[in-house]
Amino acid sequence: MSQEKLKAAINEYFTAHSSVIETEILRILGEMVSKRTVNVPTSKLGNFDYLTIRGEEWRVAEIVQREFDSWGIRYDVFERQKGRPNVIGYLGKGEDHSKILFIACHMDIVPPGSGWETDPFVMTRRDGFVYGRGVLDNKGPLASSLLAAKVIKDIGADESITGQLQISALADEEAGDPDGVDYGIHYLMEENLISPAYAIIPDIGENMKKIDIAEKGRMVITVRAVGKQAHGSTPHLGVNAINKMARFLAELEHHTFQYVEDPILRKPTVNVGEIHGGAASNIVPSECTCDIDCRIVPGQTPEGVRDEMKMLSLRIADDFEFSIGDASLPHAIDPDNILVKSIQANARAFGLLPEPFGLGGGTFAKGMNEHGILAVAFGPGDDTAFHMANEYVEIKQLVTFAHLICLIAADLTM
Ligand SMILES: [Zn+2]
């Protein structure tokens, strides 16, 4: 089958079967939403009585494997830890490694949180949308991608593809432990279990109107203020570490870090996210720690930001301590590439004109690009619905996304 014939066959299939495809996406998505694949750091597992390990992605992986089996699609399962599998389905011969397109979806979800109008673990349909934890992040795009695989298989394109379309259901996107061990995409890359030329990560929303080609670097800085313990009735005999931290945070709030504005990523951001200090109201606290999230732009480094904070702290005291936790550098790729062009050209038929842009958050794209894979993030849904109560996605977009994956695969894998 030629590329043109394949594209025509894909378009015909979607025209003839769009309601069946929609029904299938929703059937699979509804079942996935009922699985509580909540991923939190191990230290917070105790808050979730239904979790025995982080993520428990096996609950969704079972569904993915069952569907691949029933459609006759080959797949592998890779797991670094039992119960936290990664499933990758393969379409095409896989002979030409320069023509492998990897779709990276994740099976873990963030906790439901509060404020839901419906049960977060029951997919609810209303007015062309579905609601539930994970319908957008990332089980909806996963269900779409699975249907894209089924379409490619059904029209017999599997035989014509010399490269490969790889549809993945990954573990361990939403949370990490302090040990830094990864059970998802980084595990697969570290162990050389995948080596695609291209990757699309449908994990940004933007209603398929933007393509993420750049991401800010992310770092967490832990600041520690040291005081001197004393009885609460005699605060003058101690040094209050919380007050010290408060003065530092007030300085930080009004500080502008040195940076050069980036054309895509713009400005860096700083968020004081967590604070801990004190043991009781009648004790002068001897310690206060604070975790600060910084998103940095090209030209900034984690060490530079830390040093600037340290300078700032000298206005208050000379014994503040700063340590850099998780840190990554910003990344950006040239938007003038075959992957971005294929997404744009195919999206046009759906009235979409996706533009390259940059993100403050991070997706798998950064790590994959650092590993030599040309990866962008692009997908359905509203970016504002991620990690929120009443998470939602438009059903029509899930069908369009499946269709687009098939067309992009026709461009890149033959
Ligand atoms: Zn996600």
Please write the tens of the pLDDT for every residue from 234-288. Answer: 999 999 999 999 999 999 999 999 999 998 899 999 999 999 999 999 999 999 9
Q: What's the burial of 297, exposed, middle or buried (CB within 10 Å: 0-12/13-18/19+)?
A: buried
User: Is the pLDDT reported for residue 361 higher than 90?
Assistant: no
Q: Which of 24, 67, 108, 182 is catalytic?
A: 108
Whether 294 has a pLDDT exceeding 90, the answer reads yes
Query: Tell me: the pLDDT tens digits for 15-63?
Result: 999 999 999 999 999 999 999 999 999 999 999 999 999 999 999 999 9
pLDDT for 373 beyond 90: yes
Q: Considering the entire predicted model, what is its pTM? A: 0.87
Answer yes or no: 215 catalytic: no
Q: In this structure, what token pair is assigned to residue 46?
A: 């105790």
For this structure, is 173 an active site residue? yes
pLDDT of residue 178: 86
The domain spans of the chain are 3-215+330-412, 217-327
145 C-alpha vs ligand 1 centroid, how far in Å?
14
Domain 217-327: give its CATH architecture: 2-Layer Sandwich (3.30)
Digit-coded pLDDT (tens) for 160-203: 899 999 999 999 999 999 898 999 999 999 999 999 999 999 99
Q: Which residues does residue 83 pair with via DSSP β-bridges, in sequence order?
A: none
State which CATH number among 3.40.630.10, 3.20.20.70, 1.10.260.40, 1.10.1040.50 fits the domain covering 3-215+330-412.
3.40.630.10
What is the distance in A from the centroid of ligand 1 to the CA of 383? Answer: 10
**Burial class of residue 231 (count of CB atoms within 10 Å of its CB; 0-12, 13-18, 19+):** exposed
Q: Compute the distance from residue 99 Cα to the ligand 1 centre, in Å.
A: 26
Report how far ligand 1's centroid is from the alpha carbon of 363 (Å): 7
**Centroid of ligand 1 to alpha carbon of 108 (angstroms):** 8
In the sheet with 287-296, reading across from the earlier edge strand, the strands are 269-277, 287-296, 217-226, 321-327
Please, which residues have CB less than 5 A from ligand 1, an ion? 137-138, 203
